Structure 1
Amino acid sequence: MRLVDVQQSVAAELARIGPVIDELGERFAAAGHELALVGGPVRDAMLGRHSNDLDFTTSARPEQTDRILKSWGDAWWDMGRDFGTIGCRKGDWVVEVTTYRSEAYDPASRKPEVKYGDTLAGDLGRRDFTVNAMAVRVPGQDIEDPYGGVLDLANRVLRTPGRPEDSFSDDPLRMMRAARFAAQLGFTVDDAVIAAMRDMADRITIVSAERVRDELVKLVCAPYPRRGLTLLVDTGLADHVLPELVALKLERDEHHRHKDVYEHTLTVLEQAIDLEDRLGGKPDFVSRFAALMHDVGKPKTRKFLDDGTVTFHHHDVVGAKITRKRMQALRFSGDQIDAVCHLVELHLRFHGYGSGEWTDSAVRRYVRDAGDQLARLHVLTRADCTTRNARKADRLRRTYDDLEARIARLSEEEELAAIRPDLDGNQIMEILGIPPGREVGEAYKFLLELRLDNGPMTEEDATAALREWWNTRA
């Protein structure tokens, strides 16, 4: 990226947002305070990216900022007051203003200690990377770049404003942010930053699981997640936040040859991303994280056979359990955990399809078991083919095309997405003359299995089958 391109991009973006930022700057100046646009909005402006979310820093204390924003905005919030941040909405613009500050971690603490600062230069010096340590003073739109962020942006490199060891000591989460920004922006990380990450990796353990989780989600959903994940593994950070990924770097020897599971996993992730148009086209964390975790059961299930082959029997089930434990430790929601683990557990199911030997009953069960994750399972299963054998890859692709076509046909004929028995609970109780209870559930399950085996039945045939099952059972 050329320096002149950066300058042209920021000029165009400042022209777009100028009326809003200058108006707000004039209000702060009239009250005797400094105000500057900072961080992501400045960086993104230089990258030619447009956003209506604007972050500012100010010499005003939170209570003073609160008064100014309430006289200007349409709606206000102060959930970040403890960190010096007050927010508001003005038309289509979302604004957050934070008092000049510095943050430092106590070695035994999981939360930063917030201290207010007095100067813009001091505030910029405590920021994570030079590309985020630029500011635009308002009104007037004077650019402040004390640490060379514009040049680093043009060179696509991540550096810290001061010594990386000091920056990461203040907030160890910044080590994960380095990986996240590498994944989001496609930037190279400075050697000194990488060295500090490697030396201080264990400091990430003092950061709360929730903050680590949020950074990991942003990294995985970024345009280039392989860059960030590789950096986490190479610096040792992954040993603390995602050790299951590190474990995929299985030892290989000259006698037992098998696929490089770590590289295979990163390739599956990238191929799943290429298929996201099937899921709406936007980054889908559940699908991506399932791709990342789908083989984490392999290290625990690996066995070497006498003929030199390697097996990983039941690594799907084991992997789902490992995934659940990791996601729980990172405080993911129950719905996200269930969805990802379900996909991990089902990712091998298609391999029993052969060249199309499944009966319609087996296809119905595939759909039933996938449930609301069927579209994501299609993506994961297709992405899991990483063979370099073009003929084999084409055969697998065509075979899965056939399975999806059969699912579509059966869905049209039988409403597969909502498979239910041909008799409901009330009908079961009436036909068998039984009250609500366990036996109704057993009858319902029998009819569901019958429906999966045979497809739709008439009420008469279903009733006859139910009576026969009941009499045999009795």
Structure 2
Amino acid sequence: MRNAAANVVSTLVKAGHEAVFAGGCVRDMLRGVDPKDYDVATSARPAQVQALFPHSIPVGAHFGVIIVRKGPHQIEVATFRRDGTYTDGRRPDSVEFTSAVEDAKRRDFTVNGLFYNPLTEEVLDYVGGRADLERKLLRAIGDARSRFREDHLRLLRAVRFATVLGYEIDADTWSAMRDLAPEVASVSAERIREELVKIFLHPNRVRGFDLLVDSGLMKAVLPEILALQGCEQPPQWHPEGDVFKHTRIMLGLLPAKVSLPLVLSVLLHDIAKPATYEVDETGRIRFNGHDKQGAEMTEEILRRLKFPNDVIHPTVEAVANHMMFKDVQKMRVSKLKRFMARPTYEDEMELHRVDCMSSNGLTENYDFLRAKEAEFAAELRPLVPAPLINGHEIMAMGVPAGPRVGELLRMVQDLQLEGSLKTAEEAREWIRAKTL
């Protein structure tokens, strides 16, 4: 992709235009990290870019943005510009095509405002970004409040960059973030969601969590998390403290690479504890039904943030089921196999593991399930194999259509899973004896 982007720069320069790599790709190159993509900034106007690259796509010609195709790669080419006023807190009302210097000054953070000429290997720094890279400092370009007022999403982007890069946030930039945090509510749910996803999927997610809370952004985008603060738990089971501390510790215990439903289920598994908090007659703290109510709250939160169903459903299921692990050693084999055969099982196991390790450290049920996995694997057949008999066969044996058919199917499968019935004929004989 770098060669493709350099070829685009070369074509623009040969046509008499100024052209450079811009933004995050320059930042990452200077950090010794391979960029995920390459953007080009140029003095060429959109029509001139399209003339040089006939199969290009004008995705944002009003803002001077053209996508140039180079083989399998798509290179974003943007004309140097100065932004006009912002009235919606997201995009400028107008743009003026201008110089590289002005283009750098309208960007968000100094480390993202660097340019690089791949033909001369020269870094162009008009905003002090190189020094901030060396200091590992995230600093807004120019007046921080002005940059955040222009585009409220930059508030979350600041947290994301500080999390992913591991950088400190400049004091003036941080002060502006805290003052303007409520403004992020004007950003679309989809854009908020995407920033949160990038923060919580990163191995440095606890830092991101802390920055969201301390900046006031968590209050604006996920206020339910703050309700966990001060929600005390039974000390004999949770010596770590309140639900907020418990959740934060769990995030830190997760492996570096996690699925999105897993990290969301960790974040939200106890979200209903404040709503279900009570103290019984013995003085013990209880959260009766917090798993089921938490599943309902989780679905509401994730739908509010416009998550897709393939993320919502497994996350909700994990929250709803996280208390079932305390009963696994009491389950019948048939129920246990069904429990373990669910597609969400592995993520739920990891949720259970960090839930235990962040509190009392007791992993008996986790260890029991891992042992059962090995035991069931030795049987050399699926945990839940194909049924020995179906509903039509049961009705052909004289059982009327209705709930009784489903009940018999379930009973046969229970016995199949427990090894009592092994063949279809044994299943038919059992049904005949049961229905005589």
Note closer, same or farther for the CA distance 1:460–1:411 as it changes in structure 2 (3 Å cut): same
For 1:134, the equivalent position in structure 2 comes to: 114
Where does 1:390-401 land on structure 2 (aligned, <5 Å)? 393=361, 396-397=362-363, 399-401=365-367
Give the percent of matched residue pairs that are identical in Structure 1 and Structure 2.
33
Correspondence for 1:187 among 167, 177, 180: 167
For 1:267, the equivalent position in structure 2 comes to: 249
For 2:375, the equivalent position in structure 1 comes to: 409
Aligned partners of 2:175 and 2:38: how far apart in 1? Answer: 33
Note the aligned Cα RMSD (angstroms): 3.1
Superposed displacement of residue 443, structure 1: 4.5
Contact 1:272 1:287 in 2 (8 A): no
Superposed displacement of residue 113, structure 1: 3.6
For 1:56, the equivalent position in structure 2 comes to: 40
Contact 2:113 2:129 in 1 (8 A): yes
Asked if residue 375 in structure 1 is aligned to residue 346 in structure 2, the reply is yes
- Which range moves more in the overlay, 108-117 or 196-205? 108-117
For 1:160, the equivalent position in structure 2 comes to: 140
Whichever residue aligns with residue 161 of structure 2, its letter is: F
Contact 1:132 1:149 in 2 (8 A): yes
Aligned partners of 2:173 and 2:188: how far apart in 1? Answer: 22
Alignment TM-score, normalising by the size of structure 2 = 0.88
Note closer, same or farther for the CA distance 1:86–1:431 as it changes in structure 2 (3 Å cut): farther
Q: Number of residues paired by the alignment?
A: 434
- Which range moves more in the overlay, 83-92 or 181-190? 83-92
For 1:236, the equivalent position in structure 2 comes to: 216
Contact 1:264 1:386 in 2 (8 A): no
Correspondence for 1:143 among 98, 118, 123: 123
Superposed displacement of residue 92, structure 1: 6.4
Note closer, same or farther for the CA distance 1:432–1:411 as it changes in structure 2 (3 Å cut): farther
Asked if residue 424 in structure 1 is aligned to residue 390 in structure 2, the reply is yes
Contact 1:103 1:170 in 2 (8 A): no
Aligned partners of 2:81 and 2:410: how far apart in 1? Answer: 62
Note closer, same or farther for the CA distance 1:387–1:118 as it changes in structure 2 (3 Å cut): closer
Contact 1:23 1:139 in 2 (8 A): no
Runs of 4+ in 1 over 6 A off after TM superposition: 255-258
Aligned partners of 2:152 and 2:50: how far apart in 1? Answer: 30
Asked if residue 385 in structure 1 is aligned to residue 385 in structure 2, the reply is no
Asked if residue 249 in structure 1 is aligned to residue 214 in structure 2, the reply is no
Contact 2:89 2:152 in 1 (8 A): no
For 1:464, the equivalent position in structure 2 comes to: 429
Is the partner of 2:318 in helix, strand or coil? helix
Superposed displacement of residue 22, structure 1: 4.5
For 1:47, the equivalent position in structure 2 comes to: 31
**Any unmatched runs of 5+ in structure 1?**
1-15, 275-281
Whichever residue aligns with residue 337 of structure 2, its letter is: R
Aligned partners of 1:115 and 1:340: how far apart in 2? Answer: 42
Contact 2:261 2:315 in 1 (8 A): yes
Correspondence for 2:15 among 28, 31, 47: 31
Aligned partners of 1:442 and 1:219: how far apart in 2? Answer: 47
Contact 2:291 2:323 in 1 (8 A): yes
Contact 2:193 2:305 in 1 (8 A): yes
Note closer, same or farther for the CA distance 1:367–1:455 as it changes in structure 2 (3 Å cut): farther
Contact 2:46 2:66 in 1 (8 A): yes
For 2:310, the equivalent position in structure 1 comes to: 335
Whichever residue aligns with residue 269 of structure 1, its letter is: L
For 2:150, the equivalent position in structure 1 comes to: 170
- Which range moves more in the overlay, 286-295 or 84-93? 84-93
Contact 1:319 1:345 in 2 (8 A): yes
Superposed displacement of residue 377, structure 1: 1.2
Superposed displacement of residue 342, structure 1: 0.8
Contact 2:42 2:78 in 1 (8 A): yes
Is the partner of 1:385 in helix, strand or coil? helix
Superposed displacement of residue 52, structure 1: 5.8
Superposed displacement of residue 66, structure 1: 2.6
- Which range moves more in the overlay, 229-238 or 27-36? 27-36
Asked if residue 122 in structure 1 is aligned to residue 102 in structure 2, the reply is yes
Contact 2:412 2:421 in 1 (8 A): no
**Any unmatched runs of 5+ in structure 2?**
none
- Which range moves more in the overlay, 89-98 or 373-382? 89-98
For 1:289, the equivalent position in structure 2 comes to: 264
Contact 1:53 1:93 in 2 (8 A): no
Greater helix percent: which structure?
1
Superposed displacement of residue 270, structure 1: 2.1
Contact 2:64 2:78 in 1 (8 A): yes
Contact 2:114 2:125 in 1 (8 A): yes
- Which range moves more in the overlay, 214-223 or 264-273? 264-273
Alignment TM-score, normalising by the size of structure 1 = 0.82
Aligned partners of 2:128 and 2:243: how far apart in 1? Answer: 40
Aligned partners of 1:162 and 1:194: how far apart in 2? Answer: 14
Contact 1:59 1:118 in 2 (8 A): yes
